[in-house]
Amino acid sequence: MRAVVLLSGGLDSYTAAAIAKAEGFSLFALTIHYGQRHAREVDAARAVARALGVERHLELEVDLRPIGGSSLTSDAAVPHGRNLDAPGIPSTYVPARNTIFLSLALGWAEVVGAHDLVIGVNALDYSGYPDCRPEFVAAFERLATLATRAGIDGARFRVHTPLIALSKAEIVRRGLELGLDYGLTHSCYDPGPDGRPCGTCDSCVLRARGFDEAGVPDPVLLR
Amino acid sequence: MRAVVLLSGGLDSYTAAAIAKAEGFSLFALTIHYGQRHAREVDAARAVARALGVERHLELEVDLRPIGGSSLTSDAAVPHGRNLDAPGIPSTYVPARNTIFLSLALGWAEVVGAHDLVIGVNALDYSGYPDCRPEFVAAFERLATLATRAGIDGARFRVHTPLIALSKAEIVRRGLELGLDYGLTHSCYDPGPDGRPCGTCDSCVLRARGFDEAGVPDPVLLR
């Protein structure tokens, strides 16, 4: 059975894809180049797709910079050393990003005959983004069926979020059980010119916390 | 109050935008270049945006051809002289197009502070596309609120579909009442090299039927 999986090159989407593969899905990986600052992520997505042995890896150009509204898609500075428990939505939130990405995944799924979408969103150790919440995912699942041939043919779309209830440490442990090489991944929002993670953006801090609590070193930092 | 309106350059989106303007919305028009065959539509979108006096007109490049699955985004032939009452979804259906377009509109709406989206879908004289049905629109409206800051701040998104229950003739009559110049628009799925409408694709046939039933000539055909 085919599944379209959103693959960013980060730790979460790699793990979500691997869990779907372990469940028996044949993977159709979709990476969106949305003009994010960390193009390093795109190289990681290719490496991860190869490691997963995906059936196909489609890369789409959807530049969201003309829309802006995020420090990831504009010239605004990415925050460093932020208090992750501070209320509110951080500037790295990209307006409607997961909705846009899932919509594109939905389009491709119709073409390849998949009724399953996989996304590595996480509602525990995340950054307060509204489009990572279970109620968002449930609403998209319902929409997906109504939006497509499925809604007319009586089929049903499922959106799989295998990480949604896991802590970052649990995600890392699950991935290591599955034999994943996290050295291939890239999570940093604001890498240096050499592509190395900054260590102080939200994404780096959450990742470090995950490896720390899992009691294993992050292979990316051992290089 | 601001509204983001999807503007294709066709008759329907022009009319939907004009109705929203007449209701007092300040228009933020969004045109998506999705690799459709009829690039002529894009020139029409610019002319229509000018005629509407929109606050801003944003054009985004989102090439859906790598996804394919439609005669509008692949080399498959657009059907001519098709029986519009034939059951099934025609080859001009672009998988998840309205979901993708509304998602992009949603992202921009968040940035410009709009909570209203306008789309010219029509559930009567249409081509059997699943993403033109009222239940799809209602599901997207619910999703939009959950997907964004609105869902956290207690605001609510509305998706306006002023044409959804109108026949093509009623759309034409409403637009003429509003003083619209339909000579600016372009509806054909498969125009000739000179940009002139073919007259036999679904979109041309539906348009002709609309002007015919409204008892007025189509200005595009008078040139």
| Pairwise pLDDT comparison (B223 vs A143), residue with the higher score | A143
Of B63, B108, B111, the CB nearest to A61: B63
If pLDDT is split at 50, 70 and 90, which confidence band does B138 have?
very high
Coil, helix or strand for B172? helix
Q: Return mean pLDDT, chain B.
A: 93
pLDDT of residue B36: 77
Residue A102 lies in a domain: yes
CA dist., res. B124 & res. B164, Å (int): 7
pLDDT of residue B127: 66
CATH at B133: 3.40.50.620
pLDDT of residue A218: 97
Mean pLDDT (whole number) for A63-83: 91
For the segment A166-183, what is each residue's pLDDT rounded down to a tens digit? 999 999 999 999 999 999
Mean pLDDT (whole number) for B99-110: 98
CA contacts within 13 A on the Cβ side of A188: 20
Q: What angle do CA B62, B99, A98 make, to 5 degrees?
A: 75
- Which residues on chain A are in Cβ contact (under 8 Å) with B111? 67-69, 95
Residue B83 lies in a domain: no
> Which structure tokens are listed for B121?
């879908």
Whole-prediction pTM? 0.95
If pLDDT is split at 50, 70 and 90, which confidence band does B153 have?
confident
**pLDDT surpassing 70 at residue A68:** yes
Domain range enclosing B107: 2-78+88-222
Residue B155 lies in a domain: yes
> Which structure tokens are listed for A25?
């899905």
**pLDDT surpassing 80 at residue B94:** yes
Considering its fold, how many domains does chain B have in total? 1
Of B59, B95, B135, the CB nearest to A146: B135
Mean pLDDT (whole number) for B134-141: 95
For the segment B14-40, what is each residue's pLDDT rounded down to a tens digit? 999 999 999 999 999 999 999 876 668
**pLDDT surpassing 70 at residue B41:** yes
Structure ipTM: 0.94
CA dist., res. A56 & res. A76, Å (int): 35
pLDDT of residue A188: 92
CA dist., res. A211 & res. A34, Å (int): 28
Between positions 18 and 47 of B, the ones with CB within 8 A of A are none
CA dist., res. A98 & res. A132, Å (int): 8
Contact A103 B96 (CB under 8 A): yes
- Which residues on chain A are in Cβ contact (under 8 Å) with B140? 143, 147
Contact A111 B67 (CB under 8 A): yes
H or E segment and range at residue B89: none
Candidate from A58-67, A194-203, B50-59 with smallest mean pLDDT? A194-203
Instruction: Identify whether the C-beta of residue A74 lies closer than 8 Å to the C-beta of residue A65.
Output: yes
Mean pLDDT (whole number) for B138-155: 90
For the segment A197-220, what is each residue's pLDDT rounded down to a tens digit? 999 999 999 999 999 999 999 999
Residue B7 lies in a domain: yes
> Considering chain A, what percentage of its residues have pLDDT values greater than 70?
97
pLDDT of residue A125: 64
CA dist., res. B73 & res. B94, Å (int): 7
pLDDT of residue B129: 86
Contact B139 A136 (CB under 8 A): no
**pLDDT surpassing 70 at residue A114:** yes
**pLDDT surpassing 90 at residue A39:** no
Residue B163 lies in a domain: yes
pLDDT of residue B125: 65
**A181 CB within 8 Å of a chain B CB:** no
Residue B52 lies in a domain: yes
CA distance B121 to chain A (A): 13
Instruction: Identify whether the C-beta of residue A110 lies closer than 8 Å to the C-beta of residue A6.
Output: no
If pLDDT is split at 50, 70 and 90, which confidence band does A193 have?
confident
Residue A223 lies in a domain: no
Q: What angle do CA A99, A160, B64 make, to 5 degrees?
A: 40
Between positions 55 and 84 of A, the ones with CB within 8 A of B are 58-64, 66-69
Coil, helix or strand for A187? coil
Contact B61 A61 (CB under 8 A): yes
If pLDDT is split at 50, 70 and 90, which confidence band does B197 have?
very high
Residue A31 lies in a domain: yes
CA distance B18 to chain A (A): 23
